[in-house]
Amino acid sequence: METILITGGAGFIGSNFISYLFNETDFQGNVVNVDKLTYAGNLENLSHIVNDYPDRYRFEHVDICDRKQLDRIVEQYKIDIVCHFAAESHVDRSIVSPDAFIQTNIIGTYQLLECVKAHKEHVRLFHHVSTDEVYGSLHDQGYFTEETPYKPNSPYSASKASSDHLVRAYRKTYGLPITISNCSNNYGPYQFPEKLIPLMILNAIEGKSLPVYGDGQHIRDWLYVTDHCRAIWMILKARPIGKTYNIGGRCEKKNIDVVMAICNLIDHLMPMSEYKRKELINWVTDRPGHDRRYAIDCSRIEAELGWKPQESFESGIEKTIHWYLDHMEWVNRVRSGEYMAWIRQHYGH
């Protein structure tokens, strides 16, 4: 049975992927989850996996920059596949404090690659999960393809672009068995409330201000997280060594339209007599280097692996809103700092 090392498995996409792997696929192997447990990592996301699969799931509280620990883990668990999610990912924070992004996204990826290189007789695949932000900004027309030149515009996207280049270089130079995927904006359960969709959902529920950057006309391609997880699993199964795949939701939306859709749905679910949620919208100064439009051409993965997004934005956003409404205790623990206090108590972080 294969053993998959998943980095960043306590984060938003990583924890969704582990849940998907165990509960919605025919995977019969083992998973080792390596996570540093920064503020956005939450082991509570995987409590059901710990309970249901105690013999097949292991957690290691390790920083991916720690090469000695990575070597130990790969040797101890006889890792067959590395699926690399771990990353600092919030653009706004990268503008204010880019150092953590350089360390985790670049140095951490380098250390993982060096580890795989040292154990390449055993590790059969290194899959690197990246972002469409490495391509920069699109105008009104056109789409990002796998051949689009890189033109990152924020410290976050520049750090991810650098990690992509390292992964490709290790394939060409050292023959490592790599694959790469670049995805559009994910949303869904367990997303930390700093990102646009959970922030707007929670603020709308609570009657707080809904801050929208600039003129609200920035366009993103939205991808429901389970669709993303399914695409990654198909890549891991097919193992098209050396290939890059763009993963998008074929779902372009202006930021203001996303916010309005959330307002309307929450008004329907939780009507307020004194106001409509759209009245909470607050226009704020645009952030520096804010890319105008992202849009992914995902025809390669559709043609070669048979993947297509299953969720429309309408179905996905409704599921997401219901999830947050049903998990407000999780939200309150994440936002109150209670979870971080628990992490410090148990892991000294």
- As a whole number of Å, the end-to-end CA separation of the chain is 33
For residues 183-196, average pLDDT? 94
82, part of any domain: yes
Instruction: Give the pLDDT score at 341.
Output: 60
Angle at Cα 40 formed by Cα 37 and Cα 41, nearest 5°? 35
142, part of any domain: yes
CB atoms within 10 A of CB 262: 25
Residues whose CB is less than 8 angstroms from the CB of residue 251 and which lie 6 or more positions away in sequence, other chains included: 221, 222, 223, 309, 312, 313
Identify the active-site residue in 20, 57, 156, 324: 156
Query: Is 286 assigned a catalytic role?
Result: no
273, part of any domain: no
195, part of any domain: no
Query: Is 133 assigned a catalytic role?
Result: yes
- The pLDDT tens digits for 71-89 are 999 999 999 999 999 999 8
Identify the active-site residue in 133, 146, 291, 297: 133
CA 336, CA 206: separation in Å to the nearest integer?
A: 15
Three-class SS of residue 336? Answer: helix
Query: Please, which contacts does 309-314 make with residues 24 or more away whose CB atoms are closer than 8 Å?
Result: 309/223, 309/224, 309/227, 309/248, 309/249, 309/250, 309/251, 310/224, 310/226, 310/227, 310/230, 311/224, 311/226, 311/227, 311/249, 312/251, 313/222, 313/249, 313/251, 313/253, 313/261, 314/261
97, part of any domain: yes
Query: Is 132 assigned a catalytic role?
Result: yes
Identify the active-site residue in 63, 132, 221, 297: 132
- The pLDDT tens digits for 286-343 are 888 888 999 999 999 999 999 999 999 999 999 999 999 999 999 988 887 655 565 5
Residue 39, domain extent: 3-189+222-248+297-312+337-342
Q: What percent of the chain has pLDDT over 90?
A: 87
201, part of any domain: no
For residues 135-160, average pLDDT? 95
257, part of any domain: no
237, part of any domain: yes
Instruction: Count the domains in the chain.
Output: 1
Q: Pull the structure tokens for residue 186.
A: 């994910």
pTM: 0.94
Q: What is the CATH number of the domain that holds 241?
A: 3.40.50.720
